[in-house]
Amino acid sequence: MTVSYPNQYRNYCVFSPSVNERIKNGESELPVIKESLKNSNSEDEIVEDLYILNCLIDNGIKPDKVAELYPELSKYNRTESPHIQTFLAGIYRKTKVPDAFGPLVAMLIKNSVNQAATQPHDTLTPDPNEEIGGAILDYLA
């Protein structure tokens, strides 16, 4: 499992080909992801799992099924990783788990305070505040 993060030539992540197979597994992949999220400390593994969850929702898995993973997802609500925050906010945006609204607001505030201290912003790192803000707006709509 290897994730290639955005660089000066592309503004998106590239995942190993095995990810496509996992996405094709559909709903049967959810227990695997649940266990992985419970036990992982690897940013690559977490980002890959979150990407797969996003794709599963896009491919028609009911958001309610993914929302059942909120206890495992919430483990990463306080992460500093902009990659994890971006994918997590995208999942929350699609599932609208009520318990995720507060953590999204907390992420946005924390990032805003910390970003001001770390200017200029690294253009190779995603700005999770865009996705977090969009998720918050979707919750409020």
Give, for all 141 residues of the chain, the pLDDT tens digit: 679 988 888 888 999 999 999 999 999 999 999 999 999 989 999 999 999 999 999 999 999 999 999 999 999 999 999 999 999 999 999 999 999 999 999 999 999 888 754 444 556 667 889 999 999 999 998
Find the domain containing 21 and state its range: 3-140
Q: Burial level of 9, CB count in 10 A (0-12/13-18/19+)?
A: exposed
Nearest Cα residue to 53 out of 40, 67, 43: 67
For 141, residues 6+ apart whose C-beta sits below 8 A from its C-beta are none
pLDDT of residue 118: 47
pLDDT at 34: 97
Q: How many residues does the chain have?
A: 141
Query: In this structure, what DSSP letter does residue 14 have?
Result: E
Q: What is the spatial distance between Cα 15 and Cα 2, in angstroms, rounded to a whole number?
A: 6
Does the CA dihedral 93-54-83-124 come out positive or negative? negative
> Residue-wise over 28-47: b if at least 16 C-beta within 10 A, else e?
ebbeebbebbeebeeebebb
Q: CA-CA distance, 97 to 12, in Å (whole number)?
A: 26
Number of structural domains the chain divides into: 1
Predicted pLDDT at 120 = 46
Amino acid 123: pLDDT: 60
Model pLDDT, residue 121:
53
Write the single-letter amino acid at 100: A
HSE value, Cβ hemisphere, 13 Å, CA-based, for 81: 18
Q: 84 vs 60, 74, 76, CA distance in Å?
A: 22, 11, 8
